[in-house]
Chains A and B, each alone.
Chain A
Amino acid sequence: MFIINCPYCGDRDQTEFSCHGEAHIPRPTNTATMTDEEWGDYVFFRSNPKGYHRERWLHDHGCRRWFNALRHTVTDEFVATYKVQDPRPQIPGDGDQS
């Protein structure tokens, strides 16, 4: 059991939340001309890293807001939680902001 900091409500128990996969995947704008392969990439394929991962979370039992988290997929360490419109927090030990 661990504590997750909702950007709106503050620290709450993990059982109030659910995780919904990788964050920052924009919906394509050229949907009319996309190939099946491009659709497959968008719908199904994720980076699935062993390590730090930016992902979407929902505070189901609380304020019911979506937010993003930077979490380590092995240690479950939450480096940061942030609102969807906030700048992306930096991955520890990584100069790359992307």
Chain B
Amino acid sequence: MDSPVIATPLSAVKIDTDGFTALELGHISKINLRGDFDSPAVVGALTTLLGMQTDLAPNTFVSNGAATLFWLGPDERLVYTDRDPDAIISQWRNHTGTGAVDVSDYSTVLRLSGQKVRDVIASGAPFDMHPDNFSAGQCVQTRFGNASILLSNHADTPVFQLQVRWSFAEYVFNYIERVVKYV
């Protein structure tokens, strides 16, 4: 059976200029997990279902190839996964008795790379983008213009991922496209 084609909001656009590239990553399955991340049931579920540790410091994320786990709050994590999200969600609920929600289409993800990335983000976000304050492995939920974003640093070259709500994607893209000319 053919998979349905899932059109993401920025699939038709990209920015590729000297020192800055922005490209949407396309569809990513995303799951919002709730629970007590110190409890044995949750620790066990994360290990079994995702092969991941739970001792994630605030404002950090981990990847193991098949999945990426982001800290969103004291009792909240976000997962990007290559696997079927429905299977993970039902097993999570069975293992932990706490919430798991498919949020795949709630937001989209831009991959930002090039030497200008920190300056471009700093033009719209109040979070300090200095490498001492935001290094690889860190993520931050903050503001870019008027949009809430989840920004993660995947490499200090730098390579960032910017997750934004679906309905704000065009706004953020247009904002970036404009400021990249000035930084």
A12 to B148, Cβ gap below 8 A?
A: no
**Would you call B73 an interface residue if the criterion is a C-beta within 8 Å of the partner chain's C-beta atoms?**
yes
For B, the interface residue count at a CB cutoff of 8 angstroms equals 13
- For the A-B complex, the count of residue pairs with Cβ-Cβ distances under 8 Å equals 39
Question: How many Å lie between the Cα of A10 and that of B59 in the bound state?
Answer: 9
Among the listed A12, A63, A64, which residue makes an inter-chain contact with B127, where contact means beta carbons less than 8 Å apart?
A12
* Majority DSSP secondary structure for residues of A touching B: loop
B145 → chain A, closest Cβ, in Å? 11
A11 nearest CB across to chain B (Å): 9
A65–B148 CA distance with the chains assembled, in angstroms: 14
Which range contains the number of A residues in contact with the other chain?
A: 10 to 19
- A64 and B142 contact, CB distance less than 8 A: no
Query: Once bound together, how far apart are the Cα atoms of A62 and B70, in whole Å?
Result: 13
B52-83: contact bitstring with A at CB < 8 Å (1 yes, 0 no)? Answer: 00000011000000000000111010000000
CB-contacts of A5-47 with B (<8 A): 8-10, 12-13, 15-16
Q: Which B residues touch A9, using CB under 8 A? A: 58-59, 140-141
A65 adjacent to B141 (CB under 8 Å): no
**Is B126's beta carbon under 8 Å from chain A?**
yes
In this assembly, does B27 line the interface, its C-beta being within 8 Å of a C-beta of chain A?
no
User: B116 near A: Cβ within 8 Å?
Assistant: no
User: Does B93 reach chain A (CB closer than 8 Å)?
Assistant: no
Known: A15-B126, A16-B126. A8 touches B142 (CB 8 A): no
